[in-house]
Structure 1
Amino acid sequence: MGQKADLVLDVKSQLGEGPLWLADQGMLAWVDIEGRCIEFLQLETGERRSISVGARIGAVVESEDGRLVCALQNGLHYLDPETEQLEFIGDPEQDLEGNRFNDGKCDPAGRFWAGTMPLSGPEASGSLYMLDKDGEIHRKVQDIRCSNGLGWSLDGTRMYYIDTPTRRIDVFHYDSATGEISERQPLVEVPSELGSPDGMTVDAEGKIWLAHWGGSCITRWDPATGKQLDKVELPVSQVTSCAFGGKDLDVLYITSARVGLSEEKLAKEPLAGGVFSYIPGVKGLPASRYSSN
């Protein structure tokens, strides 16, 4: 407990989210939701690239065909990283202009899950969706206030999920063959002094690493007991998500945000919006890619 993370890049993302390790390129990607772009950092050379997508972007994942899949405010799209051109897949909420997509991730079977949230207000107008391999988008959970972190157990029978205002990590029974989820139950209750649960990832031992919005930390939890195992402090309050990367998947990369912070707060948190790293002594798992029929 009480370890500290190191700065990787003082990028000052407005709302940095969704770190993703692109193993084939040795590159870290993440989104800046309010900056409406995907950021890329080549770890060995320090070379940077940014792709503007023209709309708020909640998440990005790799597709098996080499493209990226993006969850934008105006629906799900393919993105060709070479041409930077978008190809529309579908928008399940075209009638809900006050919502946007937030966090998303591929399950081990290659389906893309992403959820929505209202741009403002406490309404539970969000939902969690699944983009199936046939390109169809299915609503899996509704009445969500802020759809956030996702993860799966090592044996593929459970899905972990966060609706941030509940202050919980919930667990569903998950059927990897069909993508069906059922039997939602609370798994972890996050203490108020740790801020609100945001993005998460699962390590190679099946434990959950959780980012804390307003909590200046990431934590590690045992899903078998619901107990906290570790805590890593950051010099920024709005910690948004984490993902394993590096050639051995032994580095935890952490995103953060500066949106909504006062000038006084920003003076105390000059690295807000930066990307950080931590060596946890445990490895992660390769990010699953979207697999279409």
Structure 2
Amino acid sequence: MSTRSRASVFRSVPSILGEGAVWHPSRQSLFWVDIMGRKILETTLGQDATRSRPVEALVGAVIPTAAGGLLALLQDGVHRVDLDTGRTTFFTRPAEHDATRVRFNDAKCDPRGRLWAGTMSLDESPRQGALYRITADGTSRCMREQVSISNGLAWSLDGRTLYYIDSPTRAVQAFDFDPDTGELSRARIAIDLSQQQGFPDGCTIDAEGKLWIAFWDGWCVMRWDPVSARLLDTVRLPVSQVTTCTFGGPKLDTLFITTAACKLTADQQKAQPEAGFLFAANVGTHGLAADAFAG
């Protein structure tokens, strides 16, 4: 296992709670969100500029669509985003979703284009969230109940295992995944993270099938072998609240990392002036194109 300090600030655009980084394959740009700041952010490599699109509610994640557009998971449900005007249009919400109690958090699409979207309590009360599967026509089904803070999602290279993080459990769960039906079975713990500093947050999988996990209050992103549960690499950051990571760039060989400034004391903010910025690291491997929503 190696530990290398390779992460540096990529965009010094402050976010209260930066999250949801995803490389948009057709736009060749990086999107991420500021959940509490109610903003969708977009930047393109080679241009030292970031576009900020304000939205009307807390925004947990953004998802590329197969047609080249974007979905945003706002507090009340899934919306389509007009990338020219920034306007959002309601698309769907699970019948069980109560936006007065819970909000959407991390989300990803599976290789067949189904959206997997997790929720959590607005006050972070335990076991109030869920994990939903949403198909192209907007139909949803609850796949996991009594989730506390639904976070990272990633599929194995053969598409037959789903890795999933409910942050307070301090573990990566694994499920057998049926690519045709989208059904889950044989729940188990793939990686026990209880001995690591902080809490696992967002994650991504690389082209070698290894899992990169951001650690809230952990000052790092770690690379794990999800089959052997072996720690392979650690990328240190100068900020404590590391939220998610994704591969991007023309060759998908840059690891982009979002961070947060919320919940820091005044002294902590002074000691971590880059908290909330977007970071990037070259880690010697590359990722996979994000799976787009089929709807």
* Alignment correspondent of 1:88: 90
Matched, 1:160 2:163: yes
8 Å Cα contact 1:194-1:217 kept in structure 2: no
Cα distance in 2 for partners of 1:263, 1:151 equals: 35
Q: How much has 1:83 moved relative to structure 2?
A: 2.6
Specify the SS of the correspondent of 1:84: coil
* Alignment correspondent of 1:19: 21
* TM-score, normalised relative to structure 1: 0.97
Specify the SS of the correspondent of 1:232: strand
Specify the SS of the correspondent of 1:25: coil
Query: What is the identity, as a one-letter code, of the residue corresponding to 1:253?
Result: F
- Percent sequence identity is 43
Cα distance in 2 for partners of 1:19, 1:178 equals: 27
Aligned counterparts, 1:61-72, within 5 A: 61-72=63-74
Query: Paired residues, what number?
Result: 292
Q: How much has 1:223 moved relative to structure 2?
A: 1.1
2:112 equivalent among 109, 112, 115: 109
8 Å Cα contact 2:124-2:149 kept in structure 1: no
* Alignment correspondent of 2:185: 182
* Alignment correspondent of 1:31: 33
Aligned counterparts, 1:192-271, within 5 A: 192-271=195-274
Cα distance in 1 for partners of 2:220, 2:126 equals: 27
Query: What is the identity, as a one-letter code, of the residue corresponding to 2:4?
Result: Q
Cα RMSD between the aligned structures? 1.2
Query: What is the identity, as a one-letter code, of the residue corresponding to 1:150?
Result: L
Larger mean CA deviation between 151-160 and 176-185 belongs to 176-185
Cα distance in 1 for partners of 2:124, 2:117 equals: 20
Query: What is the identity, as a one-letter code, of the residue corresponding to 1:61?
Result: I
Cα distance in 2 for partners of 1:219, 1:258 equals: 20
Cα distance in 1 for partners of 2:274, 2:64 equals: 28
8 Å Cα contact 2:41-2:50 kept in structure 1: yes
* Alignment correspondent of 1:171: 174
* Alignment correspondent of 1:3: 4
Q: Which runs of 5+ in 1 are unaligned?
A: none
Cα distance in 1 for partners of 2:210, 2:129 equals: 27
Q: How much has 1:24 moved relative to structure 2?
A: 2.9
* TM-score, normalised relative to structure 2: 0.96
Q: Which runs of 4+ in 1 moved over 6 A?
A: none
Matched, 1:41 2:43: yes
Cα distance in 2 for partners of 1:123, 1:214 equals: 19
Q: Which runs of 5+ in 2 are unaligned?
A: none
Larger mean CA deviation between 56-65 and 144-153 belongs to 56-65
Deviations 1:106-145 (A, max 9, x none): 1111111110000114331100011112221111111000
Deviations 1:154-179 (A, max 9, x none): 00100000000000000011011111
2:55 equivalent among 41, 53, 56: 53
